[in-house]
Amino acid sequence: MLHEENASILTLLPALATGLVTKTSHLDVILKFIDAEVNKSQQNTQKVDRLIHVKNQLEDAQIDVSEFSLDIDKPKTLLLAYTFGEIYTPALALFTGRHITIELWGSDLEGPSVDTIEKSIMGDSGCESMFIHVSDAPKVEQRQEEQNVNPFLQVRAMLAKVGILMSLSTFDLEKPDETEEDITEDIHTKSADPKEETGNTSSKSDHSKPRTSTTKSIEYSEKKTGITNTSSIFNAPTKNMVDPYNWFCSCSQFTKKSFTAHNRSGTNILGMTTCSPVMAGIFGNSKCKYPKTLPICQHLLAVLLMLFNWNVAVDAGLVHAYWVQSEATQIEIPLKRQANKVVH
C-alpha cells in the first residue's frame, strides 16, 4: 500500500496525523517531569528526597487543571516531517498557532449550530457557504534560548505557570498571595525599627538567575483572534482559501503543482485503499475531478492536520469560526462546549 500513488496522503497521513496533538494539563507536565528526574537521580538521595517533597505538596495542593499545554507526539511528527518534507513544519505551526479560520456566510441573525458545523467540516452535508482560510506562512525567527541546567529551576518555572512559587532553600510551595503577606509583614517589621534597616542587604543569594546554556530554536508568531464586528478579516492580505473537499488552495505553491490533467474521480483516487473517515468525507462524495498525483501545500496540510485532530483543535481554541452576515458584520461562533472548571 505504501508504494501506491498518493500513499503519503491517503495512508500515512491518516495513520500518523490522528492523535498527533494532545492536551496535557500543566500539573501532569510537572509531575511527569519530576518522575523522570527521580528515575534519573536514584544515586543522589538528597535530590530525590527534595523532588518527592515537591511532588507530595503538588498532589495535595488545589491546582486548576484546566490550564494546559499542547503535546506533540515526537515519533509521529518525525515520520510526518520525513514524509512531507519542508512543508510539514510550517503546516504544524499554522495549525497549532491558530492560523486557521472557518467562515460561514448567511443572512440569518444566528449562525448554524456547532453540530452542523462539525458535520460540514467532516464532509457531510450541512453548511454550503463554508470557507476555510489559512493565513500565510508563520514568521520564522532564530533566537537564543536559555535552558535551565538545574532541574529545580525548571520545576520552579513550570510551577509559576499554575500560580505557585517554590523556595529554592526549603523547596516548600506557596501561593503568591501568601508570599505577598509575608513580604508586607516583613516591611512593617523593618519600618518599626529603623536601626535594623542599615547593614549589608546584598548578602541574600539571587536564586532567580539560572545557569544557562545557549541553543537555537524556531519561534512561530501567533495570530490572535477574537469576537469581532469589523471587516478586519477581509482586509488581511495574507489569507489563503483552502477547500479540502475539492482539494484546492489559492496559494501559488499549490497552483503551480496543479497545472496538469484532472481526470480522476474521488472514487478513483481512493481506489482499494481502506481510507479513514476524514478521507472518505473528502473524496467519497466529491463531484470534482483530481489529478493523478495529488498536489499539496503547507496550508492544505495544516487544514488536514486540523481535521484529523478536530476535537483537540476545538478544545484548545486552535480554530475559530465566524458567522458572516455581511462584509462589515461577523460574529464568532463558540465551537467549544462549555465545561466546569476542574480543580485537582
Q: What mean pLDDT do residues 233-249 have?
A: 78
* Predicted pLDDT of residue 235: 46
How crowded is the C-beta side of 135, counted as CA atoms within 13 Å? 23
Q: What mean pLDDT do residues 311-332 have?
A: 87
Which band of pLDDT confidence, cut at 50, 70 and 90, is reported for residue 241? very high
DSSP state of 105: E
Is 90 exceeded by the pLDDT of residue 272?
Answer: no
Contact, 291 vs 269, CB < 8 A? no
* CA distance linking residue 42 with residue 316, whole number of Å: 37
Which band of pLDDT confidence, cut at 50, 70 and 90, is reported for residue 177? low
Domains in the chain: boundaries: 7-20+81-139+223-333, 148-198+207-214
Q: What mean pLDDT do residues 64-68 have?
A: 69
Contact, 319 vs 219, CB < 8 A? no
Mean of all residue pLDDT scores within the chain = 77
Is 50 exceeded by the pLDDT of residue 225?
Answer: no
* Predicted pLDDT of residue 163: 81
Tell me which residue has cell 501532569: 28
- 249-262 burial, b for 16+ CB within 10 Å, e for fewer? bebebbeeeeeeee
Q: What mean pLDDT do residues 29-34 have?
A: 87
- 211-248 burial, b for 16+ CB within 10 Å, e for fewer? eeeeeeeeebeebebeeeeeeebeeeeebbebbbbebe
The set of cell numbers assigned to 239 is: 489569507
* Predicted pLDDT of residue 128: 64
How crowded is the C-beta side of 272, counted as CA atoms within 13 Å? 3
pLDDT tens-digit map of 103-150: 988 877 777 888 888 888 887 765 667 889 998 856 544 444 455 478
Contact, 240 vs 299, CB < 8 A? yes
